[in-house]
Structure 1
């Protein structure tokens, strides 16, 4: 890891602490942390399982402090036994959900995991990058090459995470992921519904950014409107609404899309009331004389 591990036995870890104050720029200073949440510096060294448990407990009340343990959690995922690995992976996921910006300080280590040939370690790294990219897409773009290499891996969780990285980074910097158009199209046509779901979510972000860079994705998205998986079906239509709202002139087969939207409701799609009507009205402006 980029930060040196605690001195002493490799099998033991110190409680979460950061004596060098090496954390993200918007992190809360020690003196501003809630009383009783700061890690007990006098605590004895902990075995990996106990260490991870302490990190999780800290994360639930002070994710900023818990962010100092990211390097050690990655080390446990890499070197720990199966039980400790699983616990550390889940702790990293929790941190990513609560405060993904904490991965910024550790981005080089996270990218190294994402680039690993091992499916499991690559997944852990790519998932962290996907979480980070939602708040720091420029920083997460450091791992873009690792994500692109995994876009068609048979390991489903890793493929999903790679697609998420591409979607989040591509939403901010579409020019950097234009080369992934074919792989996103392939995800929309995948046999596994979880991959199709990741595909339509990514498609929605990319087509809402610069659809002209993703012609294959534009063509393939309508195929998902008849998907037999309810969640994929719902997100496919949500992706379409986002596409229409951001770039109506570039939506192909506008009449077909209007007819499609006429047969669904805001309630079915779990979107803001009036969203489907607004999208239809927008597209009809490009089709004078068209009568439903």
Structure 2
């Protein structure tokens, strides 16, 4: 596995307001990276599952050091038996949760995984891209073509991960994902509630960024306010509030949206106090004479 710097990006050199201290490799001292380095897989005495366990143990105390093992974890996912593969997948997910910036220098390998024909490999690559894109969208953009090509994958986890990549990268670069408007609309109507949830979350990000580029997504989001899945229902309302805050004039069916927001509370939706009322007030300014 290569550990080359990502192509076409200078975004990884500085992080502003990064509470997890997600510095790039260029900003990580040799002393900090050297502490707690895990064993190399080239040591034949170390079984793959034992190696993964050591990576997890290191990640919990020193995720910077554990980042050096990402290439080995990817190799285990690709080449080893099911027990080792599943353990490595979980370890990669843990790294993505603790310190997703560590995926940055492995971007070439991650994009190869995301582009793989095997669903289990594609899912691992796309999930890593989604996690990375939350902190380095310009770097994750290198895998955008792979994500877009899997938006209608039959494998549900792969489809969800691809939708998440589009949302995270598209929030920063909406012009790069305008061709996904129809697929995001379809995702919000999917029979699988987890796919609908991914679609609604992505819709909120895209419509908060540039709603004019996603007309089908704009017109479909209000439909999801009636979703029978509690989590989809919650995120649909939260996404709509975000849309109203950023682009109120573009919100369709304003009176219907106002009426729906009047029936929910900030606590129900998990949004900041006053957010629902602010959204209603904003929309009412576009509907003079409308009385609830």
**TM-score scaled by structure 2?**
0.89
Question: Unaligned stretches of 5+ in structure 1?
Answer: 5-22
Q: With CA pairs under 8 Å and 6+ residues apart, which has the higher RCO, 1 or 2?
A: 2
After superposition, what is the alpha-carbon deviation per residue over 1:103-147, rounded to whole angstroms, capped at 9, x for unaligned? 000000000000000000000000000000000001000000000
The answer as to 2:211 corresponding to 1:196 is no
Query: Separation in 1 of the partners of 2:32 and 2:154?
Result: 46
Contact 2:52–2:87 (8 Å) recurs in 1? yes
Pairwise mapping of residues 1-292 of structure 1 onto structure 2 (< 5 A)? 1-3=1-3, 24-27=25-28, 29-32=29-32, 37-39=36-38, 45-292=45-292
CA RMSD of aligned residues (A): 1.8
Task: Report the CA distance shift for 1:33/1:79 in structure 2 as closer, same or farther (over 3 A).
Answer: closer
Task: Report the CA distance shift for 1:176/1:226 in structure 2 as closer, same or farther (over 3 A).
Answer: same
Q: Which runs of 4+ in 1 moved over 3 A?
A: 32-35, 37-41
Following superposition, the deviation at residue 30 of structure 1 comes to 3.4
After superposition, what is the alpha-carbon deviation per residue over 1:64-117, rounded to whole angstroms, capped at 9, x for unaligned? 000001111000000001100001111100000000000000000000000000
Query: Separation in 2 of the partners of 1:3 and 1:249?
Result: 46
Contact 2:133–2:165 (8 Å) recurs in 1? yes
Following superposition, the deviation at residue 181 of structure 1 comes to 0.2
Contact 2:37–2:66 (8 Å) recurs in 1? no
Q: Look at both structures and tell me which one has the larger radius of gyration over its CA atoms.
A: 1
Query: Separation in 1 of the partners of 2:120 and 2:132?
Result: 19
Question: Unaligned stretches of 5+ in structure 2?
Answer: 5-23
Q: How many residues align?
A: 271
**TM-score scaled by structure 1?**
0.89
